Every structure is written in structure tokens, then in C-alpha cells.
Chains A and B, each alone.
Chain A
């Protein structure tokens, strides 16, 4: 990440970095009254890749997206999108981006087809072509049957799909997906994931914000974790998992007197300090081979367990291991609302 003094050579290198990236942002600061939503955030999205911006509610994810999509001005810092400055070249930036917000931003009083036609016409696409593009997207997003119904009659999943389709009308090379699956049921969520994968395979760069570790893991090439407006970790999903443990192992011995022994075994094999809650011992695990090893050792020691499970680490656990404090949820969500 950038910073420090720039020599002439450094400056030259930096310009290359800027143009090689779909998004390049340094030191973004944004305050709303007494609250600092962004406190010096650096972000980089390489062309043709997905950056997952991971963090709890109120971490500053939506504020970052709003700055990068020219909706609000940062108080400090610099951001370029496709090599264009978001402040001085906002109109060019807007020609490169598609925005899908946290709240499906479709016009409820228009039909699905009309919503897409509206965007196409606003982008200057001739009427016949705009209609054809709308029909294409409706087919692609499985909305053909609902094309002529007002969007207010759509289900949550259908709205999100229409919203996503609306951001694709102009075939933007860069997409912002701001918590695209929040509030969706598991099936709709997986459908949306598939659509996003399809877009990425077409060469689109994506900035994806999410509260879900599994979503970032599924879709992102790189993940930036933010909390309280600050970047607390950056890396590929594998790097982050190696750092934090991608999964969580839980063991509960039948006999409570075995807790200490089990804690020692789990701690040794998982190479992490286990969390003990009553007689339940949990620890982050990055290598699946740890599980059979634990089973073998406990078996040899004659420990009977009533629970032994391995599940994906939650965002909370990742936070805990990165920051030492749990992700505080929703304490300042208002800051991120569209009205702020």
C-alpha cells in the first residue's frame, strides 16, 4: 500500500500502479459530524479481479463505495477509478462504473423492462437498442416472466436481480456491489453468486462489500478487512485464512474433568489458543488434517466427546483473531444509510 515520500522514480512507478488498477485509493477520510466513517482507508482493485471489502455494519464499507462512485466527496485522500480522479474527473468515472446499492435501487412504480429501458436511455443508447439490451438482461437474470409487472410486486430476490441488471445496462468495466446478498434467502443468495461469477468471467472488475466471510471467500480474489473506518487486514482469502483460521473446531468432552486435557490437545494441534466456554472448546483451524489428528489423540487418551464439529469461521471469529475484539454490530449503521 502507498505512503511515504515519493521520488521522481517513485512517482513514475505510482502512475503505472494507478493505471494498472481499476480502483486505486489512498488515505480516504470521511467524517459525518462527530463520527469518522473512513479514517485513512487505502484500497486497490486490480483490473479484472474482485476485491472483497469485508467488515461489520458501520465499518465504513458503504461510505467507501459512495466515495468511489462519486456520490460523496472525501474529506481527505485521493481516489482514482480507471485512472481518473473521482473528484476532478467524476463524469468520466461515472461512465466506467455500475452501482448496485445495499437497498435495491429500482423504481417500484416502473416495470422491470421500463427500469432497464430508463437506464439505457439515460446512457444515450438508442431506443430500439436499449429495449433489446433490456430484454437480454431480463432473460439473463430470469426476469422475463415479470418483465411487464411493476417492480413493487417483485420479491426481494427479484428486486436484487433487477437492481444488478440495471447496473449492467451500459456494460460497465467496473462494478460496485454493496452487500448484494444481505437479506436474501440462501437460495437467492447462491443464485446471485453465480450471476456475479458469470460477470467476473467476462472480464469485469468488482468491488464487493459484504459482512459475510463465506461470501468474500466465494467471490473475492483479494480481501480487505475494515473496522471502524480503518483497514485491519489485506490479502488473498488463503492468506487471511492462514492468518485467522478459516474454520472453527468445537469439541465438548463428556466428562468435564477432561476439559483441560482437551484444551491442551486442541491448542497444540491447531497451533492456536482455544476458547473455552463451559465444557466447550473452540479453536480456529486452517488445516483440515487437524480434525482426524485431534480425534486420534483424544481416542488414545480415552476421552469421550459429545460434540465434535468443524464449521466455517464467522466474521466475528475473524475479527476476534484480527483485532482482539468482537465485531460490534450495528452501533452506527445510520452513517451508512443512503440518507446520510
Chain B
């Protein structure tokens, strides 16, 4: 052990507040941090890389024949559904990450630094968007290898991706709320999975609603996952767009309106 010798502190020039440009830079640094973490956490990498690929392959080849007659004719219907499902699951990492920071004391360290108060959360959400874009890219990539083809134009496809990312952004607030309420990161995962499995499966993501019993069909038709999957299908493959996109945007707005204030309340309760 070397004896520490630290230069006498210099008189710093202190600023009264963080400028927006500094805040943005700090946000990008914290987003970098969240991405670099993945290198040391292979499970997380698996969750937003291998798992969606596995889902595409399994659903397509196991259920494709039964649902659509053949895997090839199921794939165009399935792929947008898998993208939506995976998007919701990946969002949960915002909550587990925040909860880990709070329980491990990293959050306190960050809040004791002269950085913008919003930077830690914004950094997480930006990192989440990067992971989401990467997941969509992978799922579409494996889809294309299996024969999936876009039936619309590039602008329409980009609009679809933008809609998915926007919805992920809105849904992050649910994850933030769960992350702030939960006791530990494991609980965030548990609550997330328990809630997300029925929400994603009781939708038209994998099977058309018309094949289900009437009472279930009612729920499936209001489920945001159904609207989002329909919107993605419309924008990538053609078909009705206006209605599912409108419903998706309304749902996104509603989620933010409910969960952003709840998250702020949960955050204040925690600190």
C-alpha cells in the first residue's frame, strides 16, 4: 500500500447551476455507463440479444404450422408481435438498473455530484433506447434471414421503428415506477415478468384475436400491445395504419400521464 499524498485542493471557481449543455453531456456519460455495464453482465446481453432471436425461431417453427399453416406464412404476422413483446421486456432493465443504483448507494454518489438532477434517469432512458434499437435490428435481421420482407417503403418502416421507440420511452415510466417501489432488483424482475407475460400473450401479438373466446377478445382489442403490434404490421407490411397508430399514441400518452407523476412520488418517498 502506498501512502496517499494528495495535492492541496485548489480554490475552484464554483458555478451556481448546471447548464443544459453540461446536463446533456452528463446524460450521455451515464448512458455510456449503462451500455458498458452490459459487457460485464452477459445475462442482460442475452435478454435483449439471444432471447428475441430464440423467440423468433421457436414461435415460428413450433407454432407456425399450427397457427398459419406453415412457418413461412406465420413469420410476417409473428415478427412485429415479437418486436413489441421484446420491447416491453427490455424496458424492465430501466427499473432494475435504477433499483440497483438506489440499493447499492450508487444513486447517492451520483446525487452528491455536481450534475443535473435529471441526468441519471435520462442517461438510463437513452441507454434503453439504444438497447431497444439494437433488439429491433436483431429481430428484423433474423426475420430477413428466414424470409421476412418489408412490404412498404423505407419511410414507413422508419416511422414504425420510431413509434416502437416512442412507446418504449413512455413505457419506461412504468419500469421507473416499479424500480422505485421494489425492495431489490430481483423484485423488479419478478413484478415485471409477472405483469408482462399476460399483457403480451393476451394480445394479438402471436395469434389473431378473432380465434379467441369473446370475453378474451374484448380485452385483447383494448390491449396496447395489440394496437402497437397492429401499427407495426401496418407500417412494415401494409394494411390499416391510422387507427392502431392513434391508439398506440393515446396509450403512450396515458401511460406517461399516470406513471410519470407516480414515479416522481415514489422517488421522493425513497430519498
11 A–B contact pairs at CB < 8 A?
A: A92-B16, A96-B14, A101-B108, A105-B108, A121-B29, A122-B113, A124-B22, A141-B4, A195-B4, A197-B3, A202-B9
Query: Is A89's CB within 8 Å of the partner chain B?
Result: yes
Q: Are B2 and A171 in contact, with the CB atoms below 8 A?
A: no
Which residues from 108 to 147 on chain B have a C-beta closer than 8 Å to any C-beta of chain A? 108-115, 119
The reply to whether B271 and A204 form a contact with Cβ atoms under 8 Å apart is no
Is B2 touching A338 in the complex (CB atoms < 8 A)? no
**Is B26 an interface position by the 8 A CB rule?**
yes
Contacts beyond the supplied A92-B16, A105-B104, A204-B9: 20 A-B pairs with Cβ under 8 Å? A70-B111, A70-B112, A91-B18, A97-B112, A99-B108, A99-B112, A101-B105, A101-B108, A101-B109, A103-B105, A106-B106, A109-B40, A110-B36, A110-B37, A118-B29, A121-B32, A141-B4, A152-B40, A198-B3, A203-B8
Q: Give the distance to chain B from A187, nearest Cβ to Cβ, in Å.
A: 10
Residues of A within 8 Å of B33, CB to CB, are 107, 110, 114, 118
Identify which of B5, B40, B105, B270 contacts A111 (C-beta below 8 A): B40
Give the residues from 1 to 54 in chain B that come closer than 8 angstroms, CB to CB, to chain A: 1-10, 12, 14-18, 22, 25-26, 29-30, 32-33, 36-37, 40-41
Task: Determine if B40 and A95 form an interchain contact, defined as CB atoms under 8 angstroms apart.
Answer: no
Question: Across the interface, which residues of A come within 8 angstroms of B152, CB to CB?
Answer: none
Query: How far is it, in angstroms, between the C-alpha of A89 and the C-alpha of B33 when the chains are bound?
Result: 28
- Cβ of B103 within 8 Å of any chain A Cβ, yes or no, is yes
Query: Which residue of A is nearest B105, CB measured?
Result: A105
Asked if A140 is an interface residue, CB under 8 A from chain B, the answer is yes
For residue B6, which residues in chain A have a CB less than 8 angstroms away from its CB?
A: 168, 171, 198-199, 202, 204
Interface size on A, residues (CB 8 A): 56
A111 to B2, CA, bound (A): 21
Closest 9 CB pairs of A and B: A198-B4, A105-B105, A173-B9, A202-B6, A109-B37, A94-B114, A150-B40, A203-B8, A99-B112
CB distance from B192 to the nearest CB of A (A): 19
Residue of B whose beta carbon sits closest to that of A142: B1
A91 to B115, CA, bound (A): 8
| Residue B102 interfacial (CB < 8 Å) | yes
Closest to A338 in B: B105
A166 nearest CB across to chain B (Å): 7
Q: Which residue of A lies closest to B119 (CB)?
A: A122
Tell me the complex Cα distance, A102–B103, Å. Answer: 12
Say whether A239 faces chain B, with CB atoms less than 8 Å apart. no
**Chain A positions near chain B (C-beta within 8 angstroms):** 66, 69-72, 84, 89, 91-92, 94-97, 99, 101-111, 114, 118-119, 121-124, 139-142, 150, 152, 166-168, 171-173, 191, 194-195, 197-199, 201-204, 338-339
Q: How far is the CA of A42 from the CA of B8 in the complex (A)?
A: 27
In the complex, what distance in Å separates the CA atom of A338 from the CA atom of B113?
Answer: 16
Q: A residues within 8 A CB of B112? A: 69-71, 94, 97, 99
In the assembled complex, the CB of A135 is this many whole angstroms from the nearest CB of chain B, namely 13
Other-chain residue from A103, A114, A166 in contact with B104 (beta carbon distance below 8 A): A103
Q: Are B1 and A172 interface neighbours, CB within 8 A?
A: no
B110 neighbours in A (Cβ, 8 Å): 122
Instruction: Check B113 against A123 for contact (C-beta < 8 Å).
Output: yes
> In whole Å, how far is B266's beta carbon from the nearest beta carbon of chain A?
12
- Interface residue from A122, A197, A339 paired with B102 (Cβ < 8 Å): A339
**CB-based contact B108/A119 at 8 Å:** no
Q: How far is the CA of A71 from the CA of B105 in the complex (A)?
A: 12
When chains A and B are docked, how far (Å) is the Cα of A69 from the Cα of B112?
6
Chain A's closest residue to B3 (CB) is A198
Chain A residues with CB under 8 Å of B111's CB are: 70-71
Pair B4/A95 contact, Cβ less than 8 Å: no
Whether the pair A107, B106 counts as a contact (CB closer than 8 A) is yes
What residues of A have a CB within 8 angstroms of the CB of B106 in the complex?
105-107
Give the complex CA separation of A71 and B111 in angstroms.
7
Report A-chain residues with C-beta under 8 Å of the C-beta of B8.
Answer: 202-203
Asked, given contacts A91-B16, A173-B9, whether A109 binds B41 with beta carbons under 8 Å apart, the answer is yes
Cβ of A141: which chain B residues have Cβ within 8 Å of it? 4
